[in-house]
Structure 1
């Protein structure tokens, strides 16, 4: 019998289909505006962790440090104090599960941190909906890291309108908290006085009431301090964060970057000013580093009690392009905080850029309806009042310098003034700055 052999081609195995639901969830996180990023993250982690609510706590967003989605009971009641206490109790752990006080009662939670920004993710009543526990946790960790990084990027590159809204929200939160402190402090101090009164014979009752009220007062004051800490950052630590953020860039660029630190006793910066200041300096450094002849850049911060003063200077030949889109975006960030940017280009000697950012939100403008200004004329007047030149106003409003001059002439006529200085003085008298 003659033997023979037959070769059998291996069966063609179909390639696994791409995990489209997960990929689509990641894409939605990447594209989400800050106001909806918690909702998008919850959609993505539900198959892996379940849970009835998700809360993000990040101090990068000074106006709205909490971002929430899910159960109305949790979303409506969770407090900053609870989240701060949970984060501090983690003691450096990247992921933790257990029972914690959230939204007024003890709940099962899964908590994850993001060390680069000290952000916290809390999922209440997790159930590990799919896969092994380790695999599910790894996927939640991946999605959380992606989200926290995107929040950092979005805040750093925030549009001017976001900075204005953030500042307004921070100021309003501080105002409401201060009112609550005043109200409850008066109530509790009255309670203490009554409990200590000699007219009350029950010594045990007085002692108990005194103890409860005293602890409530301490807790209320502590809550106020925490709220203030959230919307302010010491100028020295804000500058140190800038140095840390820029360290990878400066390490590999081949350009020497010198940091001149602000005074340690400088006034604390509102959160949105600190974030904007770091983004502005980072943008200026990147623009300066694009010049081939630059070898050294110096950045300096200072405080005069009312403003953060920023100076960035390079040793190039003064060829920095002030018309570049990136410079226009930086100008708009500065203007959103009622600040000023002055650019001095010295041919053969480099660029010297000074930025002034007010630490206090501008006062609410007075009534200017009697001037009968068109909306564009009011925008031009606001930029005039901020000390901007025609060229900068044109760039900020995306109009020509000739159009700016046209609006300025109309402003002079309607305000009945004869010069820019008179127009600026009149605008300042109505709270426009």
Structure 2
């Protein structure tokens, strides 16, 4: 490795530190252009609530890179272990170099879209890893120094934007899935199929235009049965031209729900059903609501393979629900299917940006998560935990991720230490 490279990286670090976060990716791309030949570079920095995604370089690539394309790198690339390979980004496959950092609680990732045919030495990659760690730690510190009110507002805006984008995406996905169901139905002739597809598209447009008006007309509250019926209607449309049997279990009372809880429960239910439809072998889906003094509980079950995969995207659904005050518990039993339970507390609605503390640090964990935590604290690996609890290893990974988030720790060791400290207190 040329002796000038470490000095060059230190010089680049000094150049980047005074830069404002939104401008950093452009400066970094320019500074590293000669060392790492690339067509574009993108970042996903979770410490920046307002604009976590940034990209620079060839506009044909940089302008079409999305957070959804970068998120898998954040979940799969281990901090301190850069990854080089081909991956979909900017709408097509490219050779990439992905570098993750854990110098912020939820992580960050830097992705280079490499120039075809170029190579980057292991020594240089190691130096760039250190550079990204420094940049991540620096900007995380800046985030923590922001005035609390401004930071809370920034996070609130980011959460709202992410929620709206995700729900719109799911609504469009449901509409497209319904259209494809019609067009692929061999029992329909061409003319009836086209007419039905047009009807579905028009109904979807009307639904999008009237959704906000219907929500406002509820004046902050909505009867539980009517809220459930709105979800049921959308799911019947989604599954009408499939072979999947939909079973519905409406709430037993018509207590008024806070409008935000009713909306979140509908959006979560639709998102989970869409995720279930990505599996092979699903013949039946059951959706039920139960509303009582403790809150609203949404249960969804299928008879699919019972194995959690990355295609299900349940981790993203759970992350969004946590921001909305909901809790997710998942059981995946191979050969029996998925069972997903979502709980919304309606007695004391959560305040955005404020964390409620309790005397019991594990109060936020579900019963299955407590079982996983107990075995994790005993030093068991995921495979052993899965065998003991008769669930899949992927389900254990999902529960462990939820446990770390709910306990506000970053490693299994910290979670185990908290468990033992509480047990001996």
* TM-score normalised by L of structure 1: 0.42
Give the structure, 1 or 2, with the largest relative contact order (CA under 8 Å, sep 6 or more).
1
Radius of gyration: which is bigger?
1
* TM-score normalised by L of structure 2: 0.43
